[in-house]
Chain A
Amino acid sequence: MAIEIEKSIVGLSKVANSDTHGEDSPYFAGWKAYDEDPFDEVHNPSGVIQMGLAENQVSFDLVEEYLEKHSEAVDCGSGISSFRENALFQDYHGLFSFRKAMANFMEKIRGGRAKFDPDRVVITAGATAANELLTFILADPGDALLVPTPYYPGFDRDLRWRTGVKIIPIHCDSSNNFQVTPQALESAYEEAKSNKIKVRGILITNPSNPLGATIQRSNLEEILDFAVQKNIHLVSDEIYSGSAFYSSEFVSIAEVLESRKYMDSERVHIVYSLSKDLGLPGFRVGTIYSYNDNVVTTARRMSSFTLISSQTQQLLASMLSDEEFTRNYIKTNRDRLRKRYEKIIDGLRGSGVECLKGNAGLFCWMNLSHLLEKSTRECELELWNSILGEVKLNISPGSSCHCSEPGWFRVCFANMSEQTLEVALTRLHNFMQKRTKKVINSSFFSFLL
């Protein structure tokens, strides 16, 4: 019998001791640099500009206007009985009025091309919780989800940390604009198989983070066909659906299912949230929409761990049922995001930098691979470090998004004022000029030699 060594410190779990939360990666290191020296137009004009945080502040004035005009919606309920109900309401089904309003809002975003049933809406405190919850439900510890690269760095934590589930990347590259191909899907699946890992599902983000582009319909069909063929689940994180610049360019998996008369729909689950489209990340509002009754029931019961405050539900139920507000908001938000996108693309192009052609989201996928001495992750991180240190811009390196091609960066543009964006573009422009000069000089000298 082994003699136990007496520990003086009481131990914690493996989950507690693991670093799967990923907060030591460059993605988060840049945030720390920003926290220590944040840019402010007036008080700190040479500080770090945060371009690594996908927040949507371009349309907040519309929400503010609504809240001011409808202050009774913010109240927990004017009459005693409605307040009582609200304060006591901890039903994991969520307020029906709120679920109905969410379903309506999701329909509007899709231009009415898909229908959503309020009884299939499960509430969670944010999309982070929704993705984790779905992972708990669809996969056991040791199983895997296939996720196309590049992907949102937070997935490493949200899908894996507490759940014990693995992520197997579906490698995509710039040769076809980072689209998922059936070969890449098959290859990822085989990789899992050869390691004796059971694949339980595919998780796609549409529109994609960090690419800032919608997935084409034909591609969605291929991915769904693959899921059917392998008998696995398909989770579509559509958190940026309201941030597509043109409504018609976004095709939801819900539309694909509708056109197939919901055949094979029981393997499909959609995640949504108001953090990006409505710019309300502090509200902590997420949903799982599942076409699978068992998943809906289970998710509901497990949502006790991550409910939305009844007060917030009530407030949003009013706001999202307001036809005029939602119609106007969705349209205005799309227009403003598109204009921002065009501004940053033009600015970058003027500095000799190209981006992937995007049509959605709060960021662009910038290509700086030509600045790398060698096409390696180390060189990419070196470049990232100089941009952070010299240019004082916090952008996200592609390696933290598991991009297989070094040199790509995600640059957020919606979490700042237009003026700040201009400052950022100017700084980048100067940096690019210096770099180009350096390249020209060194190639001149090497020519001389």
Chain B
Amino acid sequence: MTNSPTKTTISSGGATSAMRVIVPLQGVVQGRGGLFLGSVIPCALFYFWQLYLKRNRNRSRPSNNNNDESGSSGSTHLPQVSSGSGLQRVHSRILLSPKGSSGQSQVSVRANSVISKQIDSSPCFVGLNKASQDPYDEFSNPDGVIQLGLDENKLSLDLVQEWLAENVSRWMMAEDLSISGIATYQPFDGLLELKVAVAGFMSQAVDNSVSFSPAQMVLTGGAIPALEILSFCLADPGNAFLVPSPYYPDLDRDVKWRTGVEIIPVPCRSADNFSLSIDALDRAFSQAKKRGLKVRGVIISNPWNPVGNMFSRETLYNLLDFATEKNIHVISNEILAGSSYGGEEFVSIAEIIDSEDFDRNRVHIVYGLSKDLSLPGFRVGAIYTCNENVLAVAKKLTRFSSISVPTQHLLIQMLSDAKFVQQFIKKNRERLRRMYSLFVSGLKQLGIECTKSSGGFYCWADMSRLIRSYNEKGEIELWDNLLNVAKINATPGSSCHCVEPGWFRLCFTTLSEKDISTVMRRIQKVLETRKSLS
């Protein structure tokens, strides 16, 4: 039986084995004419059934991607470990289109999951691509795509630029350029002076509620490797982390791609204002155990990306109690700690373990300068932990992702300028607060409500009343409308593993105040179109 390429090839694994059983049996039972009909019909039925299954599998699988400008994509939503491997192997055979060379050697299974067609056709990837190919500019491209899917903060870049203009000659002093400064190998986990400076910055970002110690820090080339290093340290391939959902799309990549570790989402709901319920955690833990999955820890982001709220003191206590009871780790991604602007105070998990009698060895904080200092390009992240074993291993592992030394020198100067840091954090918060309230009230006027956010660069908008069918399909259809009609790239909740359809993450920190009214106008256009059609 000949299979047509691509689509059916995926199912060929199951189909051909079934054929081997059906055809001979039919032949034996029914004789010549019957042999033909008796074999073709069941084969055809089976073929169409596989095709149907495959199509539905692709649609219902949410794909998770990050929001990097160029469409650097996240992972596929990997299927269950047991069933996934068969799919992956056959999938890899498709990707071996020789392109003129003979007998091309294969790449690994983990590589194949990264280059799968699912990533390329996911909303995040498509949206980011479109936005970068046709970027909005107030003057030169007023009809371009407005990027609301990238959680970058452009509101306070001018402050950093100002500092650089005033101080750049200072940092380029001869001693920094010397052989000992740049030409030699430096400690992979970062220069001590930078650790001191980052620890100081972190303390300021949490309004000095905690005094972070440089000795408990390992610097990495961004928060992305920090998270991956922790995943490698705390879990074995096949183990899992519990993660409250919705969670930001990139986490799938950071935790899963190369480590072989799984993420088990713990759904949080609008009825609870998307706060974490310990019961839900417990249920997820037990279910994982039943499936034979060993849970090694819980990963939270605080302030919460994409929801924008912050963990209360009580929730953090309860989380630590839970972790102690199950003897697992807690990773707290606090990369947006300095970007809180709401009335609530931000409570770092470090503050809780400082004051209470929890085992410090199980708590690890991820930080970085990409968000709070608006410098994602410089690649500066940190792992902060009191667990000496984790520190020792992370120090060795960060050799694969160290920070460039000239950049370290520049940042030492910048972060040691206490006055600059204080003013930056203060002004940045003011600007974030202002943009947030303008943006949210703009949406409110359109009848779109958001959860109350206190930190981060985005709002979590409820557009569930606007979707045609209350499911992921409806949500994607609205997302598509927003992208192609309103020319706005928003992140659909399904990319964040949200169990309730219709929620969207909209980042407002790459806009100017004027742009907000443009965004609202465009969204309104889409709403009107949908009302008139329904």
Contact = CB atoms under 8 A, between A and B. Distances in A.
B532 interface: no
Interface stretch (A171-179, A304-312, A335-343, A349-357): A304-312
Contacts of A266: 99, 101, 104-105
Interface string B151-186: 010100110110010001100100001110111111
Contact of B115 (A9, A71, A298): A298
B200 interface: no
A76 B107 contact: no
10 contacts: A64-B177, A67-B177, A91-B68, A138-B111, A282-B184, A282-B185, A304-B224, A306-B225, A309-B377, A311-B377
Contact of B228 (A90, A161, A305): A305
Contacts of B95: 294
Which of B119, B160, B258, B390 has most A Cβ within 10 Å?
B258
A21 B396 contact: yes
Contacts of A93: 70, 72
A44 to B, nearest CB: 15
A301 interface: yes
A158 B327 CA distance: 31
A265 interface: yes
B258 A302 contact: yes
Given A12-B393, A16-B393, A311 B376 contact: no
Interface of B: 66, 68-70, 72-73, 95, 99, 101-105, 107-111, 114-115, 119, 152, 154, 157-158, 160-161, 164, 168-169, 172, 177-179, 181-186, 221-222, 224-225, 228, 232-237, 239, 253, 257-260, 296, 327-329, 359, 361-362, 370, 374-379, 389-390, 393, 396-397, 399-407, 410
B236 A294 contact: no
Contacts of B296: 13
Contacts of A148: none
Contact of A10 (B102, B103, B361): B361
Interface string A149-173: 0000000011001111000000000
Contacts of B152: 88
B232 A84 contact: no
Contact of A307 (B161, B232, B379): B379
B111 A309 contact: no
A253 B397 CA distance: 30
B260 to A, nearest CB: 7
A439 interface: no
**Top 10 A-B residue pairs of the complex, sorted by shortest distance between their CB atoms:** A310-B377, A282-B405, A309-B404, A309-B407, A312-B404, A90-B376, A89-B377, A91-B70, A92-B72, A137-B111
A283 B95 CA distance: 36
A164 to B, nearest CB: 8
A307 B221 contact: yes
B183 A281 contact: yes
Interface in A1-53: 6-7, 9-10, 12-16, 21, 23, 53
Contacts of A23: 396
A83 B162 CA distance: 11
A284 B399 CA distance: 9
Contacts of B164: 75-76, 83
Interface string A259-283: 0000111110000000000011111
B108 A200 contact: yes
A309 B258 CA distance: 22
A441 interface: no
Which of A201, A232, A284 has most B Cβ within 10 Å?
A284
A449 interface: no
B72 A304 contact: yes
B185 A55 contact: yes
B182 to A, nearest CB: 5
B222 A281 contact: no
Interface residues of A, number: 92
Contacts of B183: 55-57, 60, 63, 279-282
Interface in A277-320: 279-285, 292-295, 297-298, 300-302, 304-312, 315
A162 B184 contact: no
Interface stretch (A113-121, A122-130, A188-196, A399-407): A122-130
Contacts of A140: 108-110
Contact of B103 (A143, A201, A231): A231
Contacts of A332: none
A311 B108 contact: no
B400 to A, nearest CB: 5
A162 B105 contact: no
Contacts of A285: 404
Interface in A83-110: 83-84, 86-93
Given A301-B73, A312-B404, A74 B172 contact: yes
Contacts of B390: 12, 16
B124 to A, nearest CB: 13
A433 B401 CA distance: 46
Contacts of B407: 309, 311-312
B161 A80 contact: yes
A15 B257 CA distance: 16
A284 B219 CA distance: 14
B184 to A, nearest CB: 6
Contacts of B375: 87
A283 B234 contact: no
Nearest to A15: B232
Nearest to B66: A304
A263 B101 contact: yes
Nearest to A164: B237
A12 B329 CA distance: 9
B406 A312 contact: yes
A136 interface: yes
Contacts of B108: 136-140, 143, 200
A334 interface: no
A162 B258 contact: yes
A256 to B, nearest CB: 15
Contact of B233 (A15, A139, A200, A263): A15
Contact of B404 (A76, A164, A227, A282): A282
Contacts of A293: 99
Contacts of A137: 107-108, 110-111
Contacts of A125: 221, 379, 400-402, 404
B157 A12 contact: no
Which of A9, A264, A266, A415 has most B Cβ within 10 Å?
A266
Which of A141, A265, A309 has most B Cβ within 10 Å?
A309
B397 to A, nearest CB: 7
Given A71-B172, A91-B70, A266-B105, 7 more contacts: A12-B393, A64-B178, A67-B177, A83-B164, A138-B111, A200-B105, A281-B185
A249 interface: no
Nearest to A311: B407
A373 interface: no
B410 A311 contact: yes
A280 B182 CA distance: 6
A161 B130 CA distance: 39
A10 B203 CA distance: 27
Contacts of B400: 125-126, 128-129, 132, 158, 162, 305-306
A324 interface: no
A21 B188 CA distance: 14
Contacts of B115: 294, 297-298, 301
Nearest to B327: A10
B361 A141 contact: no
A139 B258 CA distance: 12
Nearest to B258: A136
A90 B103 contact: no
Contacts of B222: 90, 304, 307
Contacts of A138: 107-108, 111
A87 B232 contact: no
Contacts of B401: 125, 129, 305-306
